[in-house]
Chain A
Amino acid sequence: MFESFFENKKSWLSSEGPDSDIVISTRIRLARNIEGYPFPNRATLAQKNQVFLKVGEAYPKIEHLDSAFFLPMESIDDLDRQFLLERHLISQEHMHYPRGKGLILSRSEVVSIMINEEDHLRMQVIVSGFDLVKAWRIINKIDDEISTYLLFSFSPEIGYLTSCPTNVGTGLRASCMLHLPALVMTKRVDKILELLAKLSFTTRGLFGEGTQALGNFFQISNQVSLGMSEEEIMDSLAGVVKQVKEQELNARENLLKRYLPTLEDSVWRAWGILKCCRLISTKEALSHLSMLRLGVDLGIIKEVGKDIINRFFIMIQPAHLQKIEGKVLKEEERDYIRAELIREKLS
């Protein structure tokens, strides 16, 4: 399933859109629940199925979604679920516990709706570059349309009611994914993240578990979802993301001006390893790809395009490799195939 996604040239991986040299992608999700049913953590399997079917009746009437995939999670095999996770289309929880859960996924991968995750609906739009306006336009329209068919749990005082009170109000979480290699190299990233936390923004590393940011990717999101309008939330996020982006640009300039030999050395070494390796783990590949991407951004390396590197970040992940090869691979086998794939594409 989902083989056609490899051909999606316009997905969030395309490295198009505003400021896409630093802001890789923008994502907005809305949490919604349908009136009359307990939230998924309290609902019986039968009630979850009813929610699934109700959503199933509504979605085909909605623009953008009329030709979408509509699937029970249990009908998607382990590998494909992992594949969707690697493409940021579903969450860990949705992948690990598929029973009673469902998914609506547009063919373009721009829109995904998780059914019966923490809330009845977790609607997500993900676009390339720094483009909250575009992402909001799409998701707002879908939300408006779907809410003419489904009655959402809503209180005039505290807004959309969600399973966890941290999402109540707008139910909105907007996030930007940033590539910040220069801030990491110049050891300024911690200070900046510290400041963001004080301003009530959440940051986390993009790949891997916990706070470690593999490949120097960081995701910045709003924490507050109540007391501000959607536009105000997005404006404030846009403000801090812009600040961080400027800081990264400054750090890059600083590196170019003062530490050019060191910078060039790091970039070309990354290039060398990626072009010659025979076994490489995801973790190691991500760190070299990050340097390579920086090298391309700064014009040090001209032999490869940004879109190719962007795709690498996803292609080298375990489920993607196995889908490309068309079979289940053990870890050592993956490291070999990964190295081969990278060499091939870089030559």
Chain B
Amino acid sequence: MLCDICHKKIATVHLTEIVEGKVMELHICQDCAKNKAEELKQQLNISDFLGGLTLEGEDNKSMSIKCSFCGTTFYDFKKKGRLGCAKCYTHFKSQLLPLIKKIHGSNEHKGKLPKKVEEKVIVDRNLKILKERLERAVKLEAYEDAAKLRDEIRELEKKVRKED
């Protein structure tokens, strides 16, 4: 997509602005974004440039939510575009999740796990994968596979219960 301002460069910054009550989407290039940032410094802040976010629940209440570990408020995050610590993800969960979904199109980690992670996390992940496969097997009417998968799931669930 080309920049809405200069029509020459690639738009990499996506803004949502409210102009006279109407929602306007603006797709602009880095250079024009810089100029625009200067121009709108008073009204906009950096986090608006982060993946073009209009944040959900932007009322005063959510702005003053504070992370008890690092002291970052949601307002600080909005201003700087940076979270203060890992716990911020818990404290701002209801504001952050929709935002994350907007940026990545998903809220679900499908990548690797760290080596040092609780056993339960790994088991949960495996269970989830097995259940997805079971569902697929049933849909495909591959009953033999489905039976095998069901056994594996039971086995795993038994293990979890024992550990609890």
Q: Which residues of A come within 8 Å of B, CB atoms?
A: 33, 35, 37-39, 41-42, 118, 140, 143-145, 147-148, 150-161, 163-166, 168-170, 172, 190, 193-194, 197-198, 202-204, 210-211, 224-230, 232
Contact = CB atoms under 8 A, between A and B. Distances in A.
Contacts, number: 143
B70 to A, nearest CB: 4
A165 B51 CA distance: 10
Interface stretch (B111-119, B144-152, B156-164): B111-119
Contacts of B111: 159-160, 169-170, 172, 228-230
Contacts of A198: 1
Contact of A41 (B80, B107, B115, B116): B80
B125 A158 contact: no
A190 B10 contact: yes
B127 to A, nearest CB: 12
B11 to A, nearest CB: 7
Interface string B107-138: 11111111111000100110000000000000
Interface stretch (B18-26, B36-44, B57-65, B84-92): B84-92
B83 A228 contact: no
Contacts of A226: 100, 103-104, 106-109
Q: How large is the interface on B (under 10, 10 to 19, 20 to 34, 35 or more residues)?
A: 35 or more
A226 B116 CA distance: 20
A321 to B, nearest CB: 28
A230 B109 CA distance: 10
A140 B110 contact: no
Contact of B121 (A140, A147, A156): A156
Contact of B104 (A38, A202, A203, A225): A225
Contacts of B112: 140, 143, 170, 229-230
B110 A229 contact: yes
Contact of B10 (A41, A165, A203, A230): A203
B80 to A, nearest CB: 7
A204 B85 CA distance: 29
Interface of B: 1-2, 8-12, 29-31, 34, 50-51, 69-72, 80-86, 89, 96, 99-100, 103-117, 121, 124-125
Given A39-B82, A164-B81, A197-B12, A158 B114 contact: no
10 nearest A-B residue pairs (beta carbon) = A227-B106, A159-B109, A153-B86, A42-B84, A170-B111, A226-B104, A147-B114, A38-B85, A38-B70, A161-B86
A193 B1 CA distance: 8
B113 to A, nearest CB: 7
- Of A144, A165, A169, A228, chain B has the most CB atoms within 10 Å of the CB of A165
B84 A227 contact: no
Contacts of A161: 83, 86, 89
B118 to A, nearest CB: 9
29 contacts: A35-B86, A38-B69, A39-B70, A39-B84, A42-B70, A42-B84, A42-B85, A118-B82, A147-B114, A147-B115, A151-B116, A156-B109, A156-B124, A158-B100, A158-B109, A159-B111, A161-B83, A164-B82, A169-B111, A170-B111, A194-B1, A197-B1, A204-B12, A211-B9, A226-B103, A226-B107, A227-B109, A228-B110, A229-B112
A118 B50 CA distance: 15
Contacts of B108: 157-158, 226-227
